[in-house]
Amino acid sequence: MNRSKAPLLLALALLLAGAAVLVTRLMPERVNDPRNESPANAAPSPTAAPAARTRAPLVPEEEDGKALRPGTDMAAALRSRYAARIHDPHTQMRMLEQLMRHFQQLYPTGWEEPLLAMVKQAFPELYEELALRLRQRVAYAQWMESHQEELRARPVAERRAAMWEERNQLFGEETARKIWAAELRNESVGNALSIIDALPQAGVNERLARYKQSLEQTFGDEAPGYMQAHQQELMNRFLDLGSVQRELGAMTPEQRAEHLRSVREGMGLDEAALERWKDLDTRRDARWALGEQYMTERVALAQQHTGPELEQRLRELRARYFADEAQTIAEEEAGGFYRFGQPRQWGRN
């Protein structure tokens, strides 16, 4: 190689390496997806720093989980995302909790000051209100942390009452109800299901009608959209009722198939989905019939054999019935779990 060219090649290599490092540093990293978190409950504790400091994205994530582009002005992004509903306490809490996640990663200690500076830049006219909301959020997290053992030891109803008492005291009753509106609606649905489950003479169809009525009362005009978005969850909660399972279990296969279709249709499933569920029910029924035969033969073998001979015969039995799943079934049984010895949950497994 020509010696005169060597310094130039070396400089070019160093320049390319430096550019690669710079690009790497500018690439945004993801933070936890906040979509499934409840305001004021699931956000990081404001009193605890992360175990290991990781580089935060340049701006918080969008509500749909997509990170904003590097270089986006954060204040402008916050106004674009939240301005339409920024007077709503629930929206305020969602925004503040996203900012907390962001600034706690950047500044494990002393994160509140830069967070509030960003809030003031984005919403100067609401700065005092949002600063108060943040102080309330921090105080509530500290209360939850200091009382967690006591709360865990209480019955559910008492624990819920204590939490609401603290929320009302810190935020005011009206604001607290707006922040935790989703929790209140969920409790309302749970209470309605308990009442429906206890109806003495009601059939599956009547219980379903009461359930849909309770959803309409709880969600009002939003009920159709909510039911459409949460079909599976709402259907599962109904099918999990002991009264519904007992009635389905007492039916003939034909009656049970008809009632399961009515439940699913009543929860808004279309014809294509109903047919898919029908096919799945057929496969599940065949699977459980096979499992019941296996359990009958297993009991018979356990009555006739013991020790290594029994184990060998059980291995052969599992291989005959379950083929590729035989080892999984064996491991479950070794741990004391007998898959086909569990109660059947109609419409669920």
pLDDT in tens, 4-54: 444 434 343 433 344 333 333 333 333 333 333 345 554 333 334 333 333
State the pLDDT at residue 233: 94
Contact 295, 303 (CB under 8 A): no
At 138, which amino acid appears?
Answer: V
SS (H, E, C) 74-104: HHHHHHHHHHHHCCCHHHHHHHHHHHHHHHH
Alpha helix (H) residue ranges in the chain: 6-26, 74-82, 89-106, 112-122, 127-146, 148-153, 156-171, 173-179, 181-197, 204-219, 223-229, 231-239, 242-249, 253-266, 271-304, 307-322, 326-334
In three-state secondary structure terms, 178 is helix
Dist CA 111 CA 107 (whole Å): 5
Take residue 293 and report the two structure tokens written for it: 């035969």
Both tokens assigned to 348 = 């669920």
pLDDT for the residue 163: 97
What proportion of the chain, given as a percentage, has pLDDT over 70? 79
pTM over 0.75: no
- Look at phi and psi of residue 34 and say left if phi exceeds 0, alpha if psi is from -120 to 50, else beta: alpha
Question: According to the model, what pLDDT value does residue 34 have?
Answer: 31
- What gap in Å lies between CA 114 and CA 53, rounded to an integer? 17
The pLDDT value given to residue 72: 55
Compute the distance between CA of residue 180 and CA of residue 41 in angstroms, rounded to an integer.
Answer: 9
Q: Is residue 288 within 8 Å of 344, Cβ to Cβ?
A: yes
For the segment 68-127, what is each residue's pLDDT rounded down to a tens digit?
343 458 999 999 999 999 999 999 999 999 999 999 999 988 999 999 999 999 999 999
How much is the pLDDT for 39? 55
Residue-range domain boundaries for the chain: 25-168, 182-269, 288-341
The mean per-residue pLDDT over the stretch 166-193 comes to 95
